Amino acid sequence: MSDEKNLSDDLNDMLGDAKEGAKKAADKAGEFAEDAKEKAKKLAEEAKETASEFTDSAKETFASGGENKKILAGILGILFGGLGVHKFILGYNKEGGILLGATLIGILLSCVGVGLLIVWVPGVVGFIEGIIYLTKSDEEFYNTYQVGKKPWF
For residue 59, the model assigns a pLDDT of 57
Task: Give the residue from 48, 64, 80 where a domain finishes.
Answer: 64
pLDDT band at 27 (very low <50, low <70, confident <90, very high): confident
Residue 95 to residues 20, 100, 106, 151, 152: CA-CA distances in angstroms? 83, 9, 16, 7, 8
Residue 153: inside a domain: no
Residues 14 and 71 in one domain: no
100-122 pLDDT tens trace? 898 888 888 888 777 777 888 88
pLDDT of 136 higher than 50: yes
For residue 94, the model assigns a pLDDT of 92
Nearest to 109 by CA among 101, 84, 93: 101
- If one compares 47 and 49, the residue with the highest pLDDT of the two is 49
For residue 138, the model assigns a pLDDT of 84
Side chain identity at 10, as an amino acid letter?
D
Of all residues in the chain, the percent with pLDDT exceeding 70 is 80
Domain, as residue range, for 98: 67-147
52-72 pLDDT tens trace? 776 666 555 555 544 568 888
Residue 152: inside a domain: no
Residues 55 and 120 in one domain: no
For residue 128, the model assigns a pLDDT of 92
Q: What is the mean pLDDT of the chain?
A: 79
For residue 66, the model assigns a pLDDT of 43
pLDDT band at 131 (very low <50, low <70, confident <90, very high): very high
Residues 41 and 23 in one domain: yes
